[in-house]
Amino acid sequence: GDSVTQMEGPVTLSEEAFLTINCTYTATGYPSLFWYVQYPGEGLQLLLKATKADDKGSNKGFEATYRKETTSFHLEKGSVQVSDSAVYFCALSDLGTGNQFYFGTGTSLTVIP
């Protein structure tokens, strides 16, 4: 079945450091891939998405490229800020499985000044 495997955290970085959070997936069909961010006590907010192979999603300095050959969708940001501290979830949706979302376990990021 469909699943998402996400880099375990927690991750602690200094401000302006480079961020990579790894995400790989398994899917039976042609999934769409998403990154969501969750701030403490809040719901999930869409960060970016990609709907087909080689697409790059980007938002707020974050980007991720849909790599079908490596079944990956790694999240990157060139220079993190304290305000980026949150939990990041990789997710996929696959119409072949009813369009429910499959989430990774989340990666907690803390950025220190």
Cα separation, 45 vs 7, whole angstroms: 19
How many Cα atoms sit within 13 Å of 62 on the Cβ side? Answer: 22
20 near another protein, rule: CB under 8 A: no
DSSP assignment string, 47-105: EEEE-STT-EEEETTEEEE-BTTTTB--EEESS--GGG-EEEEEEEE-GGGTT-EEE--
Name the β-bridge partners of 59: 62
C-alpha dihedral sign at 48, 91, 26, 106 = positive
Q: Map the footprint of another protein across residues 62-81, applying CB under 8 A.
A: none
Smallest distance from another protein to CB 49, Å: 7
Contact stretch for another protein (CB under 8 A) within 12-20, 35-43, 70-78: 35-43
- Applying CB under 8 A, among 34, 35, 62, 73 the residue interacting with another protein is 34
25 binds another protein (CB under 8 A): no
Number of residues that bind another protein (CB under 8 A): 28
In the bound complex, what is the minimum distance in angstroms from residue 22's beta carbon to another protein? 15
Instruction: From 18-26, 71-79, 103-111, give the range in contact with another protein by CB under 8 A.
Output: 103-111
Residue 7 in contact with another protein, rule: CB under 8 A: no
